[in-house]
Structure 1
Amino acid sequence: MAMRVITGSARGRRLKELEGMETRPTTDRVKEGLFSALQFEIEGRRVLDLFAGTGQLGIEALSRGAERCVFVDRRADAVKLIRENLELTGLSGRARVVAGDSMEYLASLREKFDLILLDPPYAAGLLEPALEHIAQFDILRPHGIIAAEAPAEKALPPLAEPYRLCRTYRYGRIGLTVYRRAGELENEGSAT
């Protein structure tokens, strides 16, 4: 089944895929669910696609009007493929591709994002540490969103304030958990 961009400026464009089992592309069903849940919160936003793989999630966000997206993956073949997919979709001008370890990237980050997409290899045990790093380094802007994909049977942990776990959607064997960061004023008034 070919990966395609679902909606937006690059709608219908086929994306190249990585060989091998280490990269497990998000299914169209999950991708459609994710972007319908976030549809009004993408345009003009800054996106981080961590563990980017093929880059399809960040590319979908750019296609739907995100201002820019940073793609991070440690595999050289993935980084090359992300660049190729950005060229294919005509979205390279609003993207930056980082070759390197996602955790090291989070620790060295000096910018904040509105939307962070997390879809690490399930067996790698990277999802919880990534969530903890994001909250610890507080790299989401006020009202920002984290969308994390994991096996449906896996319950993801709550995060410290000002982050909160909002909802988990289930798509067959895959779960999609959405976290939100409170706004600045909400934090000051949250002592109740």
Structure 2
Amino acid sequence: MRIIAGTFRSVALASVGKGDAGAHLRPTTDRVRESLFNVLMGGKFGDPITGARVLDLFAGTGALGLEALSRGGDCVTFVDDGRKAQSLIRENIRKTRSQSSAKLIARDATHLPENDGAPYDLIFLDPPYGKGFGSTALAAASAGGWVAKDALIVWEENTPQIAPDGFDLLDTRKYGDTHVTLLEAV
């Protein structure tokens, strides 16, 4: 895995290796990440990345958030409660030298605390597939003040997702076994 474009372009990210069987680490492949960012930057959504505050829920390796940071995001906050994931995120922050604009919250994304800062403009949501954690995490993020009005949510799952209350469905895409649902906070 590597960063596809931007200031960290071609930086090789830490390998998941054997990972942690309980961690459900399933990094977004370079190909899917590249396609996804091409969609985001393709004009239909304007430029949702430059200057954005990025929240990466169920961050795993942090590849999605770091890709956004590399392409002009202002800052990124990673949320993951897995020890292996936290280790990979820290290593990838170190590899990209993004310590000043990246933060890790070691917490279950479905139980977010109140946000004590500005809300986030771009939110990546990549929960373990098929467990219903995405809806719960999105509800927790909304209730806790993490989601800005008009925020773009990029939700990866194994099936297309229905927009929950407070969100409009913008688009859905399928990349192999991965379904990406794009939502906007209203």
TM-score (structure 1 length as normaliser): 0.84
The counterpart of 2:27, out of the listed 9, 25, 37, is 25
The counterpart of 2:57, out of the listed 46, 50, 63, is 50
Q: Find the residue that maps to 1:4 and give its secondary structure.
A: coil
Q: Find the residue that maps to 1:15 and give its secondary structure.
A: coil
* Structure 1 letter corresponding to 2:7: S
Q: Which residue of 2 aligns with 1:60?
A: 67
Q: Which residue of 1 aligns with 2:97?
A: 90
Distance 2:35 2:141 in 1: 23
Deviations 1:59-105 (A, max 9, x none): 10110110000001101221122111111111121001111111222
Note if contact 2:13-2:95 (Cα within 8 Å) is conserved in structure 1.
yes
Displacement, 1:34?
A: 1.7
Note if contact 2:157-2:178 (Cα within 8 Å) is conserved in structure 1.
yes
Does residue 160 of structure 2 align to residue 155 of structure 1?
yes
Structure 2 unpaired stretches of 5+ = 42-46
Note if contact 1:52-1:119 (Cα within 8 Å) is conserved in structure 2.
yes
Note if contact 2:135-2:164 (Cα within 8 Å) is conserved in structure 1.
no
Note if contact 2:169-2:183 (Cα within 8 Å) is conserved in structure 1.
yes
Deviations 1:79-137 (A, max 9, x none): 122111111111121001111111222x4323410011011111443112123333444
Note if contact 2:121-2:148 (Cα within 8 Å) is conserved in structure 1.
yes
Q: Find the residue that maps to 1:47 and give its secondary structure.
A: strand
Displacement, 1:138?
A: 5.2
Quote the RMSD (CA, aligned, Å): 1.7
Structure 2 matches for 1:131-146, cutoff 5 A?
131-137=138-144, 139-146=146-153
Displacement, 1:46?
A: 0.1
Displacement, 1:52?
A: 0.6
* Structure 1 letter corresponding to 2:5: T
TM-score (structure 2 length as normaliser): 0.87
Higher helix content, 1 or 2: 1
Distance 1:136 1:97 in 2: 20
Distance 2:185 2:134 in 1: 18
Q: Find the residue that maps to 2:100 and give its secondary structure.
A: helix
Note if contact 1:63-1:91 (Cα within 8 Å) is conserved in structure 2.
no
Distance 2:162 2:116 in 1: 25
What percentage of aligned pairs have identical amino acids? 39
Q: Find the residue that maps to 2:104 and give its secondary structure.
A: strand
Structure whose alpha-carbon radius of gyration is higher: 1
Does residue 179 of structure 2 align to residue 181 of structure 1?
no
Q: Which residue of 2 aligns with 1:36?
A: 38
Distance 1:132 1:80 in 2: 27
